[in-house]
Structure 1
Amino acid sequence: MTFSRTARRSLAAVSALGLGLTLAACSSEDETTPAGSSSPTAADKNITIGVHSGWDEGIAVSHLFKVMLEDDGYEVQAETADAGIVYTGLAGGDYDVNFDMWLPITHADYLKKYEDDLEQLGVWYDDAKLTIAVNENAPISSLAELAENADAFGNRIVGIESGAGLTRITQDEAIPTYGLEDMEFVISSTPAMLAELKSQTEAGENVAVTLWRPHWAYDEYPIRDLEDPEGVMGGAEEIHTVGRDGFSADHPDVAAMIKAFTLNDEQLFSLENIMFNENQGENPDESVRQWLEANPTFVDDLKTAAGLS
């Protein structure tokens, strides 16, 4: 049997009242809690993170916070669902926080629908975008140069799934804008694209693939994005953290950490690489601990930035 967050809080309040009366009866009058004590209750230490299924950066950051908070004594659940379900759950109070709202475009409809029931807690990454990437030592730097150098790339661009927004934008925007109609656009799958990227870069060959930031491939392979002078792939988006209404009041220290939290490309790509490439997505909490060992000052630096140490 499951309870809504409201029901769980009511039950917790009743239980806490009963426990408080029992303790009061058993303690002497001079054994009182000092005025102004902010010692958290058990309910204050329970946090549920809503995680978008299949969104690697959100999974990685959610488990990063899960591990950090558990080390501070919190009980944390990371629950995976489709983005629409996560935002509905946040608005209804069934989740406390989500680390993966892409704005101003990708998740704008959800923000418009639920903004009165959500708290904006900060931006932790500001260069999320769709790209066409090439090997680091490729002979071109811009999509505007790709058509006249198509032979150097085997006359093809390797894409991902047919239903992906990245595939549609490449087909409908990038290819006609930059005159790439004579190149073969290979629509395959994300694993197939990554396999091509791996084999071609290891062989020292040129390769052009559809990709997106953030992604662990930028940490694993020697690649870079082609410039997009016409802006057809879309501008960079920000990744926001959002909480249910009242989250900051209920968890002020956690909210302070979230508001101070950012990751640069090197940090994010390396975390994703460990979690999804080296460890194949298995045991993400252990992947986080592996990453924290390689970044030993990260937690302390974050707490200092949040004013918690």
Structure 2
Amino acid sequence: MKERHPFKEDVIYRPGKWTTMERSIQYLRELAVLQVIYGDLDDKQLSKDPYEVMRKWDGKTTSNLEARLRVKEQQVPIATTTVHWRQYRTNRDSLIPIHKLIRRLESQGVISKTHSPFNSPIWPVQKSNGEWRLTVDYRGLNEVTPPVSAAVPDMLELQYELESKAAKWYATIDIAFFSIPVAAECRPQVAFTWRVVQYTWNRLPQGWKHSPTICHGLIQTALEQGEAPEHLQYIDDIIVWGNTAEEVFEKGKKIVQILLKAGFAIKQRKVKGPAQEIQFLGIKWQDGCRQIPMEGL
């Protein structure tokens, strides 16, 4: 990539949208993800406006990543007793968005209709951008689910380690959580009901007791087997760093390649950087130091 796409030196001579180093780096990052996914962009396409290239592939990303899903179905711990909690009243503002979300998830194969003695209530959560997340209250199920020995890293320890790197440039990668399929015999226990229709998750659901641990372990194994460059990982969030944008770009590209090859889905908008300031673990990082996010004040 770097032979065909010089960084700062050539950017100032390009017309149109090629006006800043930041936009050039952003385009290179997005283009690298596209090339890893599709592998058939030619030189003529590379010379086009970056937004035109992105528009060309818009709409193909989901289907192509879905087709590449090769993560092995996971045998997860089964609850020791049946738990059936009835649905309670939810926020009225969430009804239409959640209905649309359920239809979309069903069409993507993430959830499917079922008949199960288990049931847990939906508890929609509104994101900071106004969108709604389909979450399920698995407190009852979690209480009767056997433990596992593995655990996720301590977030504070990761922050201290990242701070010790004193990096100038960063990039983050957020893996799609629904990349991990659950074995059919394990699915009934995570059932939920929406408008008198019962559904269950075909992928590892958010809110279930062992989802973070299983997700972290699978991604960690894939990165180790792929000999990934130095990075830090917290469940499905990954950060790389370096002294130059080019160094960070190459590290990020390598990790994306490893994860896609292992079958994990990665959304383009979830790959951030290279940048000199970036957010990771809810904290803004710049010059190896933690910054207080101003929008949180």
TM range (shorter): under 0.3
More helix as a share of residues: 1
TM-score, normalised with respect to structure 2: 0.26
Query: Which has more radius of gyration?
Result: 1
